[in-house]
A and B are shown apart, each in its own frame.
Chain A
Amino acid sequence: MTDPILRISDLAHAFGGTQAVAGVSFSVPRGAFCGLIGPNGAGKSTLIECVSGVLNSYHGRVMFDGRDITGWPLHRVAGLGLSRSFQVSRMFGRMSVLSNLMAAPPAQIGERLLPSFAGGWRDQEAENVTGAWGMLRRFFIDDVAQNYGNDLSGGQRRLTELSRSLMTCPHMLLLDEPFAGVSPTNRARLAEHLRALQRDDGMTILMIEHRLELVEQLCDNIIVMAEGRIIAEGSMADIRKDAAVVSAYLGDEVVARGA
């Protein structure tokens, strides 16, 4: 693979006595939409926590966009353009949706101490506000722009979190179960948004999901984890045929569809 945007080598992490991730290696090519699936407890979320920098004490190496980000803390990783969402969307509850988005843009002049009281940040702020409204309209949540983060439905929270992440101008998105808690009507919309991100903006996406039909619909490449290891990798068709995957995870579902 020429120049993958994300390369993980031999990642391992243990919680107390449990080896949550036991030597995982894979790469994600630029502009790809990768799915990460596996039964509960397979280590998918732990993997994301390590890669994104929430957990630091892991073994192995993570390379992002040509830089070695092994052991980097969350904010540094995010600053490099690797943005993540959380399994349960994390809102700034007592701030409006618009404020949530406005917290995100990088390199805000007004975040430095001197300009914060001396001024000189208002022009950039105006630009960012324009961008934020654009983002809200793009995801059809502009009508809740002035709602507090706490007062949103599950689907609205997901979209707010997603648009907030996009305001940081990321190169890659790590999504942890983005469809959980989203109503069936909104699933199609969210799927379309994600596909558009990949197609029109060239965004690379690595997504953990349990809904296999969405994974099949959206992802170019699928990685299957079980018990902390990768047990299969490839397209959905390949994976369906893989005996290890079938026994570990897909089981009856696949048999029923007559793989």
Chain B
Amino acid sequence: MNILFYLTTMAIYTCINGILTLGLNMQFGLAGILNLAFIVLVAVGAYCTGIAALPPAPAAGAVHYIGGFGWAFPWDLLFGMLVTVAFGCLLGLICFKRIAHWYLALTLSSIGWALLILVSNDANLFNGQTGLIGIPGPWQDQLSPFQYQFVVLAMCVVALAGVFILFSRIEHSPLGRGFRALREDELAAGSLAKNPLRLRMIAFLLGAGAAGLGGGLSAIYFGGWNDSAWQPGETFVILAAVIVGGRGRSLGALLGSVVVMDFLVEGSRFLPEIGGRTDLLPAIQGVAVSIVLIAVLWWRPFGMWPEQKERFPKLRRRPNDFLPAAAPALGGTE
């Protein structure tokens, strides 16, 4: 019974992490936006789902938060996603200018982190450090905890499948190609009449949507929101997953998230204790992930399952060419 609970919990984590990794992969892997404040988007999604789901805050007392609509699933989740995308839009409008991509990384992160600190410091609007508790999930009060696990798992699997299919299709479409062109050389892309701001914004908002979805699902599953869970360093693990897996490739990102989050992070739980220090575990997890990331950056910066060259449809007719007719006919593409 216990092992099944553990496994379903792991599966839920995996799905949520997969969604987040796909989101950052869309922003960074595909479009080249180094968003080190990605976790802020996830936090916004989680928070807004929470305040949508919770009943209104009691007028008196120590708990304050805005919102409190008491909506049921899926409306709370959709609200969270919507606000996250709107927030991403705001960030993009502020930061996306004709500046170098590495400076964009600095400005984007600075604004994101400043906002996170702002929210976690403020007790009045956002219930500051205490966070939110008691976020209700779908049918939670009618089911046993065990049955509830499966409901949440089903939700997460469906969500992950949806995001994966959507992002995969985009990745292999001309729009995805546009993202990659933007990533490779923004100036050259501009010279081909691609609007860099539009492409960047679309990729960013798609990633923000995924972040909001992942955040919202965590809020529902954990039933709470606390700023300590949304530290800037959290982006690191997601970034590691994108890079280790294979930046730009949805499948790679997904595999990366399994490798980094499931094996490295969870797996180190099973390592023997060192010197009897129980608080060493998070540090060991962190060290493991950092070392793997540094190694991958050094030897295989494109990841374990790198982006492949595009496959093109078979030619249906011979191209107009200037070679004599004796030239061999062109068949497939690889």
Interface of A toward B, CB cutoff 8 Å: 52-54, 73-76, 78-79, 83-86, 90-96, 98-99, 102-104, 106, 108-113, 115-117, 119, 121-122, 125-126, 129-131, 133-134, 137-138, 146, 148-149, 164-165, 168
Contact = CB atoms under 8 A, between A and B. Distances in A.
B192 A138 contact: no
Interface in B313-334: 313, 315-317, 319-323, 327, 330, 333-334
B310 A116 contact: no
Interface stretch (B51-59, B122-130, B141-149, B166-174): B166-174
A75 B184 contact: no
A78 B191 contact: yes
Interface string B212-245: 0000000000000000000000000000000000
Contacts of A131: 319
B131 interface: no
Interface string B304-316: 0001011011011
Interface in B184-207: 184-185, 187-196, 202
A95 B268 CA distance: 37
A144 B223 CA distance: 55
Nearest to B321: A137
B317 A130 contact: yes
Interface stretch (B6-14, B150-158, B175-183, B278-286): B175-183
Nearest to B320: A134
Contacts of A133: 315, 319, 321, 330
Nearest to A146: B309
Chain B binding surface SS class? loop
Contacts of A168: 192-193
Given A133-B319, A137-B322, A111 B190 contact: no
Nearest to B195: A75
Contacts of B185: 90-93
Given A54-B187, A103-B177, A111-B178, A137 B312 contact: no
Contacts of B196: 75
Contact of B310 (A52, A99, A108, A149): A99
Given A117-B166, A133-B319, A74 B310 contact: no
A98 B190 contact: no
Given A54-B187, A95-B181, A116 B312 contact: no
Chain A binding surface SS class? helix
B300 to A, nearest CB: 14
Contact of A74 (B190, B202, B334): B190
A214 B181 CA distance: 32
The 9 A-B pairs with the shortest beta carbon distances in the complex, nearest first, are: A110-B174, A134-B319, A116-B175, A90-B188, A79-B193, A92-B184, A74-B190, A116-B173, A137-B321
Most buried by B among A85, A133, A138: A133
Given A99-B310, A113-B202, A92 B188 contact: yes
Contacts, number: 141
B174 A121 contact: yes
B310 A164 contact: no
A74 B169 contact: no
Given A102-B312, A116-B170, A146 B334 contact: yes
A149 B190 CA distance: 17
Given A103-B189, A111-B178, A93 B184 contact: yes
7 contacts: A83-B191, A86-B188, A102-B177, A103-B174, A130-B316, A133-B321, A137-B321
Given A84-B191, A103-B181, A138-B322, 15 more contacts: A52-B191, A75-B194, A76-B195, A78-B191, A85-B191, A90-B191, A92-B181, A104-B192, A111-B173, A113-B202, A125-B313, A129-B313, A130-B316, A130-B317, A168-B192
Contact of B316 (A115, A119, A126): A126
Contact of B191 (A119, A125, A129, A165): A165
Given A78-B193, A130-B317, A138-B321, A125 B174 contact: yes
